[in-house]
Amino acid sequence: MLDTSLLRKELERIAGLLKTRGFSLDIKKFEYLDNCRKNIQQETEMLQSKRNYLAKQVGRLKAKGLDVEDLISESQAIPAALKNLEHKLSSLSDDINDFLYAIPNIPHSSVPIGLDSTNNIEIRRWFPEGMSINSEPKPFDFVPKDHVTLGESIGLDLDLASRMSGSRFLFMKGKIALLHRALSQFMLDLHTKNHGYEECYTPYIVNASTLFGTGQLPKFKEDMFAVKQGGLKHIEPLENDKFNEEQQYLISTSEITLVSSVSGSIVSVDSLPIKLTAHTPCFRSEAGSGGRDVRGLIRQHQFDKVELVQIVHPDSSYEALEIVLSHAERTLQLLSIPYRVMSLCSGDIGFCSAKTYDLEVWLPSQNNWREISSVSNCEAFQARRMKARFRDKNGNINYLHTINGSGLAIGRALVAVLENNQQSDGSIVIPIVLRPYMDGMEVIIPS
């Protein structure tokens, strides 16, 4: 969440920055809540001062043998009044926090201004040798098949998955399942052995408070799968939209668990940067997808992803952002998949993000670029919600900065590999880096 002291000092400027995100900050409400807080604190301080004054007066008058019953009676009423103010401040703090928790991060000064994806800016493109003409994708000399047609010939079964679980699930067997596993193993090996990340195995189910800390709740509650012991159950709307700490959810990304590894901690500056990676399934209800990509692997309720997280000193977070981006790019380069880098505009970056790059891969069947990775710098936004801090060499305690990125979404990487490596007979040439994970297989021949 945002720093409240920054809001108090630069309220109009922050409201203007948030407006570029399409978010209207209720300035009057913030001022009202903050003034109420000040009044309660001032009243509390006055009563505390009065209590101390009366205590001294009682002692002084008693020493002189004077009557102090009225002063004692007056002082005895103060604890109850202070307790009442304490309850008021606690209730008001909840209201203030609810207000703050709904405010997205402010965009970094380098982020393009715009309200939707049409204002995103392309930074660069990359093509394997021979796969482009004048920086445009080179067309096939045959009509390319889509990934569903290609996948079904090597073990993809969407109908079976649909009968088991409904739409937006997949069942893979045989060669395509092996290729899917090869992608995850390759990515983990690349990021741990070449890029210096520590591999983690994390829970797939987390408490609401964990999701609250990383910013998924309360904003994205409708996109999460809620879980109860005994099975999945419909979860009633939470009273006053407040999160229930006892509720549990399936993770929508291992960013949640990796970033939360420092929740409530004060780490040493010498331990930074902390670089973590994990391969997990991810679960998203896709409630807001508007019917897009119903067919195929692009938009699934359950998918796998290798996540990259760096937890860093604030002074190095934008350098770290570029490094994480380069690690995701290197993954695509080794897979020989054409891609482009997009800098997202202020209206298109995620709720927690101050700056985001998207990597988009070329899909021949769609004649279009599709997102495969987002790399974001959340600055101190998540750390402030999680109370994740570091102690510098002078003993000062400050909030950490968090960077996350997909390195990569495995299902979408599978789509890109199938479509960009297809041959006219429907066979798939396996990228060289994946062959050691597939027993040396060079080409997948359709059944």
pLDDT > 90: what percent of the chain? 83
Residue 425 has pLDDT above 50, yes or no: yes
The pLDDT assigned to 252 comes to: 96
Q: Is residue 131 within 8 Å of residue 48, measured between CB atoms? A: no
- Ordered by where they begin, the domains of the chain are 26-102 (1.10.287.40), 117-444 (3.30.930.10)
Q: Of 211, 315, 325, 238, which is closest to residue 273 (Cα–Cα)? A: 315
- Mean pLDDT over 155-182 rounds to 95
- Angular region, 340: left φ>0, alpha ψ -120 to 50, beta rest: beta
Q: Is residue 442 within 8 Å of residue 429, measured between CB atoms? A: yes
| Residue 249: strand pairing partners | 206, 226
Q: Is residue 104 within 8 Å of residue 23, measured between CB atoms? A: yes
| CA–CA dist 267, 327 (Å, integer) | 25
289 assigned binding-site residue = no
Residue 13 has pLDDT above 60, yes or no: yes
pLDDT tens digits, residue range 92-124? Answer: 999 999 999 999 999 999 999 999 999 999 999
The pLDDT assigned to 287 comes to: 56
Q: Dihedral, CA atoms, 434, 437, 439, 445, nearest 10 degrees? A: -50
- Higher-confidence position of 241 and 125: 125
Between the alpha carbon of residue 25 and those of residues 12, 77, 379, the distances in Å are: 9, 41, 20
| CA–CA dist 253, 262 (Å, integer) | 17
Question: Apex CA 89: angle with CA 84 and CA 91, to 5°?
Answer: 95
- Higher-confidence position of 294 and 433: 433
| CA–CA dist 11, 216 (Å, integer) | 25
Task: Decide the pairing of beta strands 389-391 and 266-268.
Answer: parallel
| Residue 306: strand pairing partners | 279
The pLDDT assigned to 241 comes to: 46
Residue 73 has pLDDT above 90, yes or no: no
The pLDDT assigned to 240 comes to: 46
DSSP H/E element including 372: strand 368-377
Between the alpha carbon of residue 149 and those of residues 164, 165, 366, 412, the distances in Å are: 21, 21, 13, 15
pLDDT > 70: what percent of the chain? 94
- Mean pLDDT over 414-443 rounds to 97
- Higher-confidence position of 233 and 73: 73
Q: Is residue 341 within 8 Å of residue 347, measured between CB atoms? A: no
**320: Cα within 13 Å, side-chain hemisphere:** 27
Q: Of 242, 292, 235, 262, which is closest to residue 102 (Cα–Cα)? A: 242
Neighbours of 424 (CB within 10 A): 11
pLDDT tens digits, residue range 297-352? Answer: 899 999 999 999 999 999 999 999 999 999 999 999 999 999 999 999 999 999 99
286 assigned binding-site residue = yes
404 assigned binding-site residue = yes
**117: Cα within 13 Å, side-chain hemisphere:** 8
Q: Is residue 308 within 8 Å of residue 373, measured between CB atoms? A: no
373 assigned binding-site residue = yes
The pLDDT assigned to 291 comes to: 54
Helices 175-189 and 410-420: crossing angle in degrees, nearest 10, is: 120
Q: Dihedral, CA atoms, 262, 268, 271, 273, nearest 10 degrees? A: 70
316 assigned binding-site residue = no
Q: Of 248, 253, 259, 258, which is closest to residue 206 (Cα–Cα)? A: 248
254 assigned binding-site residue = yes
Q: Is residue 350 within 8 Å of residue 340, measured between CB atoms? A: no
Length of the chain: 447
Least-confidence region, from 20-34, 74-88, 276-290, 395-409: 276-290
Confidence band of 16 (pLDDT split at 50, 70, 90): very high
- Higher-confidence position of 158 and 447: 158
- Higher-confidence position of 254 and 70: 254
Residue 295 has pLDDT above 90, yes or no: no
- Mean pLDDT over 136-162 rounds to 95
167 assigned binding-site residue = no
Burial 397-413 (b: 16+ CB within 10 A, else e): eebbbbbbbbbbbbbbb
For all residues of the chain together, what is the average pLDDT?
92
Q: What is the DSSP string of 139-190?
A: PPSSPPPPHHHHHHTTTB-HHHHHHHH-SS---B-THHHHHHHHHHHHHHHI
Task: Decide the pairing of beta strands 443-444 and 428-429.
Answer: antiparallel
Q: Of 256, 279, 260, which is closest to residue 400 (Cα–Cα)? A: 260
284 assigned binding-site residue = yes
Confidence band of 231 (pLDDT split at 50, 70, 90): low
372 assigned binding-site residue = yes
The pLDDT assigned to 235 comes to: 52
Residue 193 has pLDDT above 50, yes or no: yes
374 assigned binding-site residue = yes
Neighbours of 146 (CB within 10 A): 17
